[in-house]
Chains A and B, each alone.
Chain A
């Protein structure tokens, strides 16, 4: 952290920056692993337009106003009917508005709910795609390591460093070895699978 990136009077920004410089540098592997995961999770804020499949319904949401007044009759009766219909609407529109107010509110609510469901599905799909990419990447790394170390080492995971992870009953020590099982994607719609342990690369 640079001192110019800090706004603090006590302790001073330079004192805090100095302390951050004294922190033991994390391992290159951990830093690289973190960089990768942060990169894969990055997402620019982009406007989400209304889902195309809801656009038509959205256009018809406000049911208080009917289409343009017409008549199929010819002669004088056609224009007279159009005039009468217009007069009717003009006079009764406030009552129509009031009668249909709840319906319009309902239409709006149901469209919002549908749009939300659409957005949630989109988020799940995005998460699943990120997971697939992560799984592919990890598999590629495992395959590369297998080719380099020979088939025996690939089948039997070597004892590696351990990290402490928490459980409801307290911390336990778990081998920090990445296996395909650890990268199981969350079940669709659940927002996540069970607790995964020791992820984050070998430390």
Chain B
């Protein structure tokens, strides 16, 4: 287990309880919905098996479940009845649950397992209800801070967000995969249908906006038109055909004009095996993965993986497969073509993927999970008060490190000099992975807090990506905020949340639509940055922020 240093103020110490009673204590799991076959449901069942194997009574409580799971689950209203002070609750969080009040009143110790929540912006334009639920899920995550003693994350990407949110005790939990489930015999009919000599490009997952199936279609179109006319795209996973995104995908398919695109919908284990058995490459353009099981499944089945390196995807792939920081369809199509035409390189990729899976063997993972739980349970810790660094003002400049020559980065540097106690929050540079410990790094002698972007930072001129960690860090602070780049995705997400204590600056050349949220929530506190009058903007911001803090010693 990798303990993460939390953001803790000096003097806040771990409290200890009296020694535990003898005999294994009950460790139950709680989640909003137990589904059959999804990543969260599989983890929950796997953990239950392990906990029971270690002698702990362990049940699963959910508010809703698939029919196939009805014998494995109890309703959440039985939680309070079955719990005592010695019970430990493992709360799984990945979506809006409305379970926080129940968690608060249920006796026992609580541990959080954070699977990550998809940023709401990835559903914008298609699924307004899901987008609202994602926002609500992040609110619930923050509401759970005082309730849980320890938080587990399945990736450093998720752990970083927990640390940014102020969870005092955070560590990594290895992701367990039941590899034997992938050994189902292939469906012969589908296998024969797909084995017609075409190069099959496969994507597995629900066709939802965050998975960017539209980009998969674009990449495939480029691949088919430029390199491999005899190719097929197979998309295996639930597609809501009556929804806006389903309609968009079908329309896009026609507009792009790619041949042989198959939307298989939900598939059985045998059909999935047939898909993998006939796939020449696995392609993922997903913009958000808390871990990314299908990538590992493809590796297990000997299919080379090409994936866009967003969120926890690079971590999941661990240097194996081909993760790309470019989402340009022609660039990614080149990788598919290379795998198709260069046998030696393809074999090298598959070999490296096999090597990657060795670290994820079930025995190794079970040992690590046990160690992780033992450490937390034996420590008998009580959640310390939530604490985060107290600063004078949050200067949110996503491009501070990645685009240091931008006018907004210049303004940020000047503000740091003039506002005592100011903290700069910026995106991590390209290619730098999430950090398990959140601490400032020095950029040009100034301390800067770096957060992992949700997607790789694009080339010069491309819009900067958002960052769930950065946005969470700003939300949990209570100090004034200056959004340097009010048009950025971070600012758009933050404006509704921190608008009352925020000021914003934007370059006049940005699109009006990108400023809509800031205009609405910041009003007169939003200022354009005229490059010839930077001094005036800096003075105005310093005066405004200083007066809001009630200080007069700004330099």
Using CB atoms and an 8 Å cutoff, list the residues of chain A in contact with chain B. 1-2, 4-11, 15-16, 19-20, 23, 26, 30-31, 33-34, 37-38, 40-41, 45-48, 50, 112, 115-116, 119-120, 122-124, 126-127, 130-131, 134, 163-166, 170-171, 185-186, 191-193, 195-197, 199-201, 203
- Whether A123 lies near B320 (C-beta < 8 A) is no
- Whether B242 lies near A48 (C-beta < 8 A) is no
Residues of B within 8 A of A200 (CB): 224-225, 257
B323 → chain A closest CB, angstroms: 4
Q: How far is the CA of A15 from the CA of B229 in the complex (A)?
A: 26
Asked whether A5 and B259 contact (CB < 8 A) given A20-B338, A120-B244, the answer is no
Using CB atoms and an 8 Å cutoff, list the residues of chain B in contact with chain A. 121-122, 124-126, 128-129, 196-198, 209, 218, 221-222, 224-227, 229-230, 232, 241-244, 246-248, 250-257, 259-260, 309, 314, 317, 319-326, 329-331, 334-335, 337-338, 341-342, 345, 348-349, 351-352, 355, 430-431, 513
Known A10-B320, A192-B250; further 13 A-B contacts with Cβ < 8 A: A5-B331, A19-B338, A26-B225, A37-B221, A46-B124, A115-B128, A119-B243, A119-B244, A123-B248, A130-B255, A164-B230, A166-B260, A196-B259
- Whether B257 lies near A37 (C-beta < 8 A) is yes
Residues of A within 8 A of B247 (CB): 119-120, 123-124, 127, 191
- Whether A45 lies near B125 (C-beta < 8 A) is yes
Residues of B within 8 A of A123 (CB): 244, 247-248, 251
The 5 A-B residue pairs with the shortest CB-CB distance, nearest first, are A127-B251, A191-B250, A9-B319, A119-B244, A10-B352
- Whether B345 lies near A166 (C-beta < 8 A) is no
B401 → chain A closest CB, angstroms: 16
**Interface residue from B230, B251, B430 paired with A171 (Cβ < 8 Å):** B230
- Whether A37 lies near B124 (C-beta < 8 A) is no
- Whether A112 lies near B129 (C-beta < 8 A) is yes
- Whether B322 lies near A6 (C-beta < 8 A) is yes
Residues of A within 8 A of B229 (CB): 163-165, 203
B510 → chain A closest CB, angstroms: 13
- Whether B325 lies near A48 (C-beta < 8 A) is no
Residues of A within 8 A of B254 (CB): 127, 131, 185-186, 191-193
Which residue of chain B lies nearest to A9 when distances are taken between CB atoms in the complex?
B319
- Whether A41 lies near B252 (C-beta < 8 A) is yes
- Whether B345 lies near A7 (C-beta < 8 A) is no
Residues of A within 8 A of B241 (CB): 191
- Whether B323 lies near A26 (C-beta < 8 A) is no
**Interface residue from A48, A124, A186 paired with B124 (Cβ < 8 Å):** A48
A24 → chain B closest CB, angstroms: 9
Q: Would you give 20 A-B contacts (Cβ < 8 Å), ordered by A?
A: A6-B325, A7-B323, A8-B320, A16-B345, A20-B337, A30-B225, A34-B225, A38-B256, A41-B218, A46-B124, A116-B242, A120-B243, A123-B251, A130-B251, A166-B259, A171-B197, A192-B253, A193-B254, A201-B225, A203-B225
Q: How far is the CA of A168 from the CA of B337 in the complex (A)?
A: 24
Residues of A within 8 A of B342 (CB): 19
Residues of B within 8 A of A7 (CB): 309, 314, 317, 319, 323-325, 431
Residues of A within 8 A of B259 (CB): 165-166, 195-197, 199
A116 → chain B closest CB, angstroms: 6
Residues of A within 8 A of B218 (CB): 38, 41
A136 → chain B closest CB, angstroms: 14
A47 → chain B closest CB, angstroms: 5
Q: How far is the CA of A46 from the CA of B131 in the complex (A)?
A: 12
Interface centre among B126, B259, B324, B355 (most CB of A within 10 A): B259
- Whether B255 lies near A47 (C-beta < 8 A) is no
- Whether A8 lies near B128 (C-beta < 8 A) is no
Asked whether A170 and B196 contact (CB < 8 A) given A10-B351, A127-B251, the answer is yes
Residues of A within 8 A of B338 (CB): 16, 19-20, 23
B521 → chain A closest CB, angstroms: 14
- Whether A26 lies near B255 (C-beta < 8 A) is no
- Whether B244 lies near A166 (C-beta < 8 A) is no
- Whether A8 lies near B334 (C-beta < 8 A) is no
B395 → chain A closest CB, angstroms: 26
Residues of A within 8 A of B196 (CB): 166, 170-171
Q: How far is the CA of A9 from the CA of B431 in the complex (A)?
A: 13
Q: How far is the CA of A50 from the CA of B129 in the complex (A)?
A: 10
B8 → chain A closest CB, angstroms: 32
- Whether B128 lies near A48 (C-beta < 8 A) is yes
Residues of B within 8 A of A131 (CB): 254-255
Residues of A within 8 A of B331 (CB): 1, 5
- Whether A1 lies near B128 (C-beta < 8 A) is no
Residues of A within 8 A of B330 (CB): 31, 34
A161 → chain B closest CB, angstroms: 11
Q: How far is the CA of A31 from the CA of B230 in the complex (A)?
A: 18
Q: How far is the CA of A131 from the CA of B254 in the complex (A)?
A: 9
B208 → chain A closest CB, angstroms: 13
